[in-house]
Chains A and B, each alone.
Chain A
């Protein structure tokens, strides 16, 4: 409230100053002479001769543009050069990405010829028993028959001996 009153008064005073009608103001009529004196003070400020200042000539922007561009291009090339020599670190994938990639790989593997080959080999193995196992079984049978043959021979030899008696 107080501030708005002051603001209003300040506006009114400013208008009177602009129109050079301060004498019409009830509150500030007395200041009219003072403001004239302020004008007078201006004239009393010591006069100076401006000392020459050397303002160094600057190159225009257009001239500066070419070396600036060349410099920035050189910097970019150097940075790329350095980066190409640096080993590239593998980025850690976020959990979601890892899962997505794992699923993707699963689908690829299921349809891949390599996977099919593996399946084929497994099926073949399942259908035909291993040769080694077969060999072992044959050996065992042969040994058995051999021992049986030996037994028969021994029986016959015993029979022959008994007949000769």
Chain B
């Protein structure tokens, strides 16, 4: 995004067009994060809209000194998902995420091996406690830094490292089985 600081400044002053650019830039990333928590495409789209409307209402309170706009949006998404599941219990299943052999462009034996690993990885992530799952998705799928993750989940960087360590240890155990 060209000159993100200027766009954020304009959005903070109430410029809807500037905020639309932020939506265009981060919308898909935030959708993916929501989807990994809900595993429901339509629900994720609804939550995404809610997240950006909330962000638009509160953009004037955003302080770029403390953390990036991306991490700020992830935090709003996280809180919106928590609010949603406070009423309704989560029934997360990553069934919809499937490995498409045909589109993988891999040789048959290699593709089969990857498919097995893929299914295992999916199950391993599904079985993790919420906070560990959140950290793994933010770190390895969304590729966020420990600092950003710490801001999003409102914990210290040290705590993020420990959560990551425990999650990977658990995934390793699942893979051993």
| Contact between chains at A7 and B162 (CB < 8 Å) | yes
| Contact between chains at A34 and B45 (CB < 8 Å) | no
Q: List, in ascending order, chain B residues with CB within 8 A of A151's CB.
A: none
- B144 CB-CB contact with A under 8 Å: no
Q: List, in ascending order, chain B residues with CB within 8 A of A44's CB.
A: 97-100, 118
Contact of B140 among A13, A14, A30, A39 (CB under 8 A): A39
A42 to B141 CA separation, bound complex (whole angstroms):
5
Among B27-35, B63-71, B79-87, the one that faces the other chain is B27-35
Among A49-57, A92-100, A112-120, the one that faces the other chain is A49-57
- A121 CB-CB contact with B under 8 Å: no
- B74 CB-CB contact with A under 8 Å: no
- A110 CB-CB contact with B under 8 Å: no
- B114 CB-CB contact with A under 8 Å: yes
Interface majority SS on B: helix, strand, loop or mixed? helix
Residue of B24, B53, B161 with highest tally of chain A CB at under 10 A: B161
| Contact between chains at A38 and B121 (CB < 8 Å) | yes
B93 to chain A, nearest CB (A): 14
Task: Select from chain A the residue with minimum beta-carbon distance to B49.
Answer: A53
Within 8 A of A (CB), among B136-154: 136, 139-142, 146
Given contact pairs A9-B165, A14-B164, A45-B35, A50 touches B23 in the complex (Cβ within 8 A)? yes
Q: List, in ascending order, chain A residues with CB within 8 A of B5's CB.
A: none
Interface size of B as a range: 35 or more
Task: Select from chain B the residue with minimum beta-carbon distance to A61.
Answer: B13
Interface size of A as a range: 35 or more
Given contact pairs A7-B158, A46-B35, A30 touches B165 in the complex (Cβ within 8 A)? no
Q: List, in ascending order, chain A residues with CB within 8 A of B31's CB.
A: 48, 50
| Contact between chains at A34 and B28 (CB < 8 Å) | no
Give A residues with C-beta under 8 Å from B.
6-7, 9-11, 13-14, 17, 28, 30-31, 33-35, 37-42, 44-48, 50-51, 53, 55-61
18 other contacts beyond A14-B146, A41-B118, A53-B49, with CB at 8 A cut-off? A10-B158, A10-B161, A11-B161, A13-B161, A14-B161, A14-B165, A28-B172, A37-B117, A39-B140, A40-B118, A41-B141, A42-B141, A44-B100, A45-B36, A46-B97, A48-B31, A48-B44, A50-B24
| Contact between chains at B35 and A34 (CB < 8 Å) | no
Residue of B24, B28, B124, B165 with highest tally of chain A CB at under 10 A: B165
A58 to B31 CA separation, bound complex (whole angstroms):
25
| Contact between chains at A48 and B41 (CB < 8 Å) | yes
Given contact pairs A53-B53, A60-B13, A45 touches B162 in the complex (Cβ within 8 A)? no
Instruction: Produce 1/0 per residue, B5-29, CB < 8 A to A.
Output: 0000000011110011001100110
A59 to B32 CA separation, bound complex (whole angstroms):
32
| Contact between chains at B20 and A55 (CB < 8 Å) | yes
